[in-house]
Structure formats: structure tokens, C-alpha cells
Structure 1
Amino acid sequence: MTTPFIGRSRELGELNRRYQSQKAEFMILYGRRRVGKTRLITHWMEMAKPRAFFWIAAPTSSVDQLRSFSQAVFRFESQSQPPADMSYGDWPTAFEALARLAEKERLAVIVDEFTYLLEAEPAVSAYLQHAWDHSLSKSNLFLILSGSHLGMMHRQVLSYQAPLYGRSTANLLLQPLPFGVTHSFYPNYSADERVAVYAMLGGVPAYWERFASERNLTQNIRSEFLNYSASLHDEPRLLLADFLRDPHNYISIFRAIANGARTPKEIAGFSGLEEKHIPQYLSVLTETGFITRRVPVTKPPTSRLGRHFIADPFLRFYYRFLARRQSQLALGVEEQALEEIKRHLLDFIGTYTWEELCQEWLLRATGHVHLPFLPDQVGSAWTRKAQVDVVGINSMEKTLILGECKWSPKAMGRDVLDGLVQKTAEFVPSEGRWRVYYLGFARGGWLREAQSYAKTFEKTNVQGENWTAIGLSILDLSQVDQDLRDWSESKDNGGEIVF
């Protein structure tokens, strides 16, 4: 049974707008494997019913690809079956045939898995560039190139040196779905269960389809993570293969970071790799987007307090809980892995996913809830003495938001909020006079004493040497869940569109 299409209203609207344009349009659609690029395109075609030519490249030879493309063009144009050996003489001729199809009537041409074509025929991007410059850009064409091999898409399509650089009229990086739409996919799951799913799978729709909503969380973990034959076990290798020819040392770095190593020195100590080589490995992994270097948002990007994290939730979960247990899982020994997941999942979610969702709440809160000021940067912050989970800063206006996140199922007391306020001096920049606002996020809610404290906080006149506290708000999981649900539906920021 086909799962329902969820979200992506912004991207669907952009596809409609480009198709309805009065000029030739050229969109590059790219994103990580399994994020839903093909599903987005096919759903748009079902809903908008454009005049469209859709072709998927396959991992085969250039001759086979050209023959397949040529015959698809012939079938579209003549509405009849071509001879088995029919093929245009070369790719420039095939592209000229497309231009003829779009001379008088609007035509959407979608070339999916474009990177397979690039692998077999690297010169195809130069052929396409020539065709675009001389004929396709003068036709009534809406061209979409879609690809998952991010390294190749960057090098041969998007980079300054690529033949197609500057030709596209829109580049759309399709992002994973936000947490706020999980309620549509898992209507039978509670909010904390959906947070757990998001901690394991992130926002990748194809992974969500593996976690059946009619099974409980433990059943899904057993079926899709602890069952060695499950397809999800192949995903880390496939994801890294899009960028790396020899991933062995990089996998060691993933394992190190998943187990708490944050600096090059710590990563070298855990992985056994020479420390002098770690920065280069980290640079490559940062380019993939799977690893990120974060600095306190109150510090400049060059801060020596930078730490490395696995940005992709699925890879983060896999290398923390499953990577070192592959031999056990291959032998059918599941219970040890399941017990470790049960024992450490609470801390894992609290350390990563819950903080990230609370940071997302602050990012999305602009225009939806009343906050005394709007940050232009959101993240976390730390010094050698303290850490704050959620920080929003506006350096021009000298305003700061500090937030504490707790993933315990128990209700939190006033001491958590007092502790947050006491950290303020560690994070207020030294220059200027600052206003500070506080946020408390607690999965299990807040005790009455904490609620009373939040209501009367403005009257306490808390201040420091160069800062003044102006307010405090507290939220629980149900409120964060509902807000992210509402805001995801209204904004639906599932992709990044660059013109």
C-alpha cells in the first residue's frame, strides 16, 4: 500500500510556479539519498497534471543510457513503440529533440538520477550546457535535473567549475521533513514516542516507511534495526559511498564522535588515527553535511571552543548503538543491543534530539508566539564552566535568550530555572548592555513552584553587571509538539530554494 504524501507544500508550489512561468526554466533538485526527491516529482505530476516527460537514468553504460533516453523521447513524441535498436547518434542530437518537443507547448522534462548519467558519460553536462545555451533556453521548457549523489552534484553541476554553473534558474536542496509532521505519519504514537522515532530516523520519509505505525516502538526497533537482514543496515554504507571511495578511516571518526569525542584530540584518541590527519578527515565529512562543527553562538566562528557532532540523526543513532554490534546481530543475538538502547535512549534523546527540537521551536517561534525580541542566531553555547542548551542572540540589538532542556518524564522544579539564571554571566558578551529572556523546556512539565516562579519572574529584578533579565517562559513536550506541528503545517520549510 502506498503511504500518503506528507508535507512539501512549499516545494510543490515552487514546481507549479516554475511550470507556469512564461519563460524557460531550469531547476536543479538535489538532496541526500531517500529524502523523497522522486516522490515529490511524481506527486506533483499526479496533482498538477503537467505535460511532462519523465525519465530515470540507470546505472548502466552510456550507450544503454542514450538508447533508453532516445526511445523514451520517441514514445513521448509519437505515442508508439520504437524499434528495439532505435537511438539518436549522440546526446546533443537527443537534447535537440527535446527542444523541438517544447517549441510551441509548455513541457516539463524531468531527468531523475542524473548522477548515474554523469557517471557513465561525464561529458553529458557539457553537452547539456551547449544545448541549453543554444536552443533549450529559447524553448518553452521546464527542465528538472534530480540527483542523490551529493558529491557529484556539487562537483559537476553546482560548482563554479561545472559546465552547467549559472544555467539553472532555481536550485532546490530538499531537506528531511521536520518533526512537526510526524503526527500525520504516526497517528497512534504519543509525542514522546514520535520524538524517539525522530531521534533514530530523522526526517527521511523512506525510513519512516520502514517503521510501521501499527507496530509499537519496540517492535519496530526489533524489526528494522535488530534484524540483520533489514535494509536499514545498508544505509550508512550507501550514504557514505556517495562521497567517499575508501570510508574506513571516516567510519572510525563517526564512531568516535557518536561515543562523545568532540575535538580532534579526543577523536584521535578514540579512533587510533594520527591527530595530524583528523582535521582533513573532518573537513571532508563536514562537506558531506553529515558532520558539523558547532561553536557557541555567542562566540565567533573561529572560536577554539568548537566541537564536532554527527548532524544526521540516523547516522548518529546507528554509530552509537548498532555499528559495533553487527557481528552479534548477524548471529541473531538481539537482546544485548535492545537492552543498551532501552538503557541509554533517554540520555541520547535528551542530549541531542530534544535540544535540537527546542532550538527549532525558538527558530520557528518568530511570528507565532510573543517573545520580547527576535534572535538572528540560534544554537547552544558553552564555556569551560557551563553550558546552555538553547541560545538565541541578536548582537545588533544586544538581546539574548537562554533556554534549559530536560527530557526526564518527571516534572521539573524551580531549581532548574534558578540554575539557568545563575549561568547568565558566563554567556552575556562583555561589550554593551544586554537584555536577557529565559525559556524552560521540560518533557514532563513543571511543578507548581516552577510555574509560580515563571509567572512572577518579571518582578524579581534579576540583573548583572551589564545585563538585565526581563522575563521567563516555560513549556512542556505537549506544547512544543503542538507548536511545531502547527508551524510545520503553516510554513512547511522542508526545502531550501536558492535562486
Structure 2
Amino acid sequence: MKFNQFIDRQDSLKRLRNALLRTTPQFLVIYGRRRIGKSTLIKEIMQDKDVYFLSDQTNEANQRALFAKAIAYSIPRFDKVVYPDWETLLLELNDRLSERITVCLDEFPYMVKSCASLPSVIQKLLNGKTLKYDLIICGSSQQLMQGYVLDKREPLYGLADEIIKLPPIPVSYIGQALNVNTIAAVEEYSIWGGIPRYWELRADYPDMDTAIRELALDTKGILAEEPQRLLRDDLRDTIQTSTILSIIGNGVNRITEIASRAGKEATQISEPLSKLRELGYIRREIPFGESEKKSKKGIYRINDNMLQFYYRFIAPHRSILELRRIDTVMHLINAQFTQHVGDCWEHLCRQYISGNEIDGIVYNIASRWWGKIFPEGNKEGTMIELDVVAESFDKKHILIGECKWTNKEDAQRLARTLSEKAAHLPFIKDGQEVHLVLFLKQEPEHQESIRYFLPEDIIETI
């Protein structure tokens, strides 16, 4: 289902429109992962006179012929000539124009794959400053697109007037897109993440369970092979990266343990872990108060909700799904779904606190904390985990929160347990005021016991 209303992306849309209003033709770069909404964004600014070309993986001559056909919709008979190279074609387009237009080359990496000299051709035309058209290049390969414009060794380095990397759409928009309440929005977001095309696919089905079955569990479903497609866009060794994601998705988070499961030394997986982080597919978490560079307690989590769902629930059961045992896997998903959503809920709550003003106090980046506390008489110590910890920018306050994605929690009991933990935390400084909060799925019992937040408080602000 294509949504009738353009969702989010107003900042990116404004940047593009403002660029196209400048007095001289612009060179614009847009990139982001597959299905993130690049083409939809571009089509919002394209007019009938403009030229949009979606490249494929055919050879150079065929791509030039197809591009010429796309131009022929705006310039009649432009495709009646065979163009020997890209420079000739792009200059002929320039000469035939009587007014300024926008030309978009979508999936630009495919074009470069068939003609490695194309960036140099474009560099020559841009440096000549004689182009009569705005040029947009766009692509799904994040690594390649970054390389073309951000690598000093590349011809197009430093020439772009705007570089826009599209991030996932925030959770606040999924309720509007799927017409669901805030609780259902969090649950849907835990599966589809902030990828608008996934939302459109989900909207074709009457409920979430049916969408999961048809799109992801059915081996012929549109998203059944989605992780492999994503990885192929940016990585050569998809076997190793898929193995790492599978290991992390099943709860193995420390680098030494990940390496052991993969049959590698820790040093051998450092580079693929780094690439996955650059692409936004995983994140490294460290306990609150520790140095990002120096901490040896870092753990890795999948940072993309669809990938997390896939590697947690689908990848381990591919053999069963090939036998059409969809009900069996769906039963396993339902049994663990609350925990899966709970992990997503924790991450959303930390995002909500980070940089936000809560009761007049502005907090820095929120994170988790895990370690030992030593209550009186307990020399061995007790290992605990805290879901949300954040210090105020003035360092006078510290917020400690617990997240629950279950029904009918007792706020009084949770407040008492959280208070007992907070009394022995090693990182609280003298004079700091401690603020205890809960992040809950529903209104709790004894709600007067502690400050708490519900999904409607969280997702509208992120």
C-alpha cells in the first residue's frame, strides 16, 4: 500500500527545495539504506519537465540508451541518437536545454559499476560550471555513496552542494501511518523499525500477525531474504557479517564470545563489527560513566529492528520454515514477543531521556548500567542491571529508570526495588539528587508512588 500522505522528511525536503531555489545549478547527493525512502523523497521535488533515471545493473551502453529514453520524455527525439560515451550524452543534454531542470541519477553505484570513469566525467562538467541543470545522485550502497563524495581520493570529493543521508523515520510517525494506538505503535516499531517501505508492506495486511506470516515467515515473502539484500548492498563478505548478526541476535553480545561462536579470534571480527556499526546495523553499548574508547565492558546489540527480529526469530528456524511450519515458528515468536518488544522499549526510553528536559532538568545521553553493588553485609556483591541512567548537564541530578513492557505493574513494588538498588550505586556523586522513574506499558497500580512514563509520553517526543 502506498501512503497518500508524505510521512516525515520535512527537514530533508526543505533542504532540497532551498537548494533548487539557488541561482546556480546544484550538485546534490542523497543516500541511505535500501527502502529508506530516497526515491519517494526525490519524487516529491521532481516536476514534469525534470528527468528521473533509475539505473539497473546492465552494461554501460544499455544504461546510456535507457537514460536517453528517460530524457526523451522531456526532450523529444533525444533517444534517436546513439551516444558513444557519458560525456557526450550529458553535454548534449546541456546544449538542448532552454530552461533549468533537475536531473536525478538513482542507484548511481550501478552506473559507476559499469563505467568507472563516470565520476571523473561528472567532475569535469561540474568544474566547468557550464551545466544548465541541477544534478542529483542517489544510491542505496551507503559505503559507495559515502566514498564517492567524502573520500579525498575520489573525483567528486568536495563538489556536492548538499549531502543528505536519510535516517530511519522516528517511532512517532508509525502510529499515524498504520492508524494504531501508542502501545501497538511500539510493538509494530519493534518489528518494522523506521523503514517506510516496511510500513507500506505491513499496511497491506489486516493485523500484525498476518503481516509477519506473509512478509517474513513465508519463504516466498517479500522480506524473507531482506537481510541478505541489505548486506549485499554494502559488504563483500556477507557470510561473515550475517554470521555475526545471527550470533548477536541470539543474545551473545561480548566480542570475545561472538568471536568464539564464529570460530575466529577477536581481532579477526573487529573490522566487520566496525563496518556494521558504520552502517547503523549494530551498536556498541557501554555501562554508564565508562569511556567509549577505554571501556572493556562493551557489548554489541543489533540496532535495526527488522534485523533484530529476523536474526532472533527467523534465521534460527529457516529449516522449519522451508517445511511450511509457519504456525510452529509463530508460536515461538508469540512466546518471546513481550521480551523482544521490551528490548525495543528500553532503547526508545533512553532516546527519550537523552537531551530532553524532564521536570525542568535537561539530561545528557542516557545509557544502561550493569555491575556489582555492595549492600551492607554483602561482601560478595550483587550483580544488577539498570535500564536507563542519565546525568543532567549541570551534573547536579541523576535519573535512574526501569522499563517494563508488561501489564498491571505495581509501581510501589518497583519503586521500592529501584530505590534499594540506587542506594548502593558506585557512580552517584556526593550531593547529586537522584530521580527514580518508571517507563511502563500501562497505568500501574499505586501510581502515586513514583514518577512514570507511558508510551504516549515517549513516542510523541522522539
Asked whether the two chains share a fold, i.e. TM above 0.5, the reply is: yes
Distance 1:133 1:342, change over 3 A: same
Give matches, 1:136-285, under 5 Å: 136=130, 139=131, 141-187=133-179, 189-212=180-203, 214-285=205-276
What is aligned with 2:61? Answer: 63
Q: Separation in 1 of the partners of 2:94 and 2:420?
A: 67
Partner in structure 2 of residue 374 of structure 1:
362
String of CA shifts for 1:408-437, please: whole Å, max 9, x gaps: 122332222233333336666476753433
Q: Which residue is equivalent to 1:21?
A: 22
Deviation at 1:68, TM superposition (A): 2.3
Mapping of residues 72-111 of structure 1, within 5 Å: 72-77=70-75, 79-80=76-77, 82-83=79-80, 86-100=81-95, 105-111=99-105
- Secondary structure of the residue aligned to 2:88 is helix
Corresponding letter in the other structure for 1:452: E
Q: Are the equivalent residues in 2 in contact too, given 1:296–1:305 (CA < 8 A)?
A: yes
**2:335 match:** 343
Distance between the aligned counterparts of 2:452 and 2:96, measured in 1?
Answer: 59
1:142 CA displacement: 2.7
Q: Report the secondary structure of 2:292's partner residue.
A: coil
| Offset from partner CA, 1:319-347 (integer Å, 9 cap, x none) | 10000211211111112211110000111
State the AA in 2 paired with 1:424.
A
User: Any idea what SS the aligned residue of 1:382 has?
Assistant: strand
Q: Residue type matched to 1:115 in 2?
A: P
Aligned length: 450
Cα deviation, residue 125, structure 1: 0.9
In structure 2, the residue corresponding to 1:117 is in which secondary structure?
helix
Aligned residue in 1 for 2:40: 39
Please point out which of 442, 449, 458 is paired with 1:453.
449
* Local SS of the residue matching 1:76: coil
Separation (CA, whole Å) in 1 of partners of 2:454 and 2:278:
35
Match of 1:466 in 2: none
Quickly say closer, same or farther: Cα 1:96–1:394, change in 2 above 3 A.
farther
Looking at structure 1, the residues matched to 203 and 2 of structure 2 have their Cα atoms a distance apart, in angstroms, of: 12
Taking structure 1 as reference, are residues 224 and 392 closer, same or farther at Cα in structure 2, changes over 3 Å only? same
Match of 1:129 in 2: 123
Which residue in the other structure is 2:352 paired with?
361
Q: Deviation digits for residues 109-160 of structure 1, max 9, x if unmatched?
A: 2111111111111221111112111125xx4543211100112112233323
Q: Show the 5 A alignment for 1:282-301.
A: 282-301=273-292
Partners of 2:21 and 2:229 in 1: how far apart?
A: 36
User: Quick one: distance in 2 between partners of 1:90 and 1:63?
Assistant: 8
Counterpart CA distance in 2 for 1:275 and 1:396 is 39
Unmatched 5+ stretches in structure 2 = 373-382
Partner of 1:413: 411
* Cα distance, 1:365 vs structure 2: 4.1
* Aligned residue in 2 for 1:391: 389
Deviations 1:462-487 (A, max 9, x none): xxxxxxxxxxx31123433xxx33x4
Q: Kindly provide the CA deviation profile for residues 79-105 of structure 1, in whole angstroms up to 9, marking residues without a partner as x.
A: 34632xx23332222333344466x74
- Is residue 298–residue 393 contact of structure 1 (8 Å, CA) maintained in 2? no
- With over 3 angstroms needed to count, the CA separation of the structure-2 counterparts of 1:82 and 1:295, relative to structure 1, is same
- Corresponding residue number in structure 1 for 2:378: none
Is the alpha carbon distance of 1:98 and 1:432 closer, same or farther for their aligned partners in structure 2, counting shifts above 3 Å? Answer: farther
What is the alpha-carbon root mean square deviation over aligned residues?
2.4
Check the 8 A contact 2:149/2:158 in 1, yes or no: no
| Range with greater deviation from structure 2 (218-227 or 336-345) | 218-227
Q: SS state of the match for residue 79, structure 2?
A: coil
Match of 1:475 in 2: 453
8 Å CA contact 1:412–1:445 kept in 2: the answer is no
Tell me the amino acid that sits aligned with residue 357 of structure 1.
Answer: L
* Mapped contact 1:185–1:213 kept (Cα < 8 A): no
Query: In terms of mean alpha carbon deviation, does 236-245 or 207-216 score higher?
Result: 207-216
2:168 and 2:195 in contact (8 A); partners too: yes
1:380 Cα deviation (Å)? 2.5
Aligned to 1:311: 303
One-letter amino acid of the structure 2 residue matched with residue 131 of structure 1: L
- CA 1:256–1:12 in structure 2 vs 1: closer, same or farther (change >3 Å)? same
- CA-CA distance at 1:393 after TM superposition: 2.9
Q: 1:164 aligns to what SS in structure 2?
A: coil
Does the 8 Å CA contact 1:400/1:428 hold for their aligned counterparts? no
What displacement does 1:371 show?
A: 2.9
**Distance (whole Å) between structure 2 residues aligned to residue 359 and residue 155 of structure 1:** 32
Q: In the alignment, is the contact (CA less than 8 A) between 2:26 and 2:134 conserved in 1?
A: yes
**Structure with higher RCO (Cα < 8 A, 6+ apart):** 1
* 1:197-232 Cα distance to aligned partner (Å, 9 max, x none): 211111111112221365122222222222111010
Structure 2 CA distance for aligned equivalents of residues 240 and 428 of structure 1: 41
Q: 1:193 to 1:75 in 2, by over 3 A?
A: closer
Partner-residue secondary structure (3-state), 1:92: helix
SS of aligned partner of 2:339: helix
Residues 172 and 421 of structure 1, relative CA distance in 2, 3 Å threshold: farther
Shift of 1:447: 1.4
Evaluate the alpha carbon distance shift between residue 17 and residue 412 of structure 1 in structure 2; reply closer, same or farther with a 3 A threshold.
Answer: farther
2:110 — aligned with what? Answer: 116
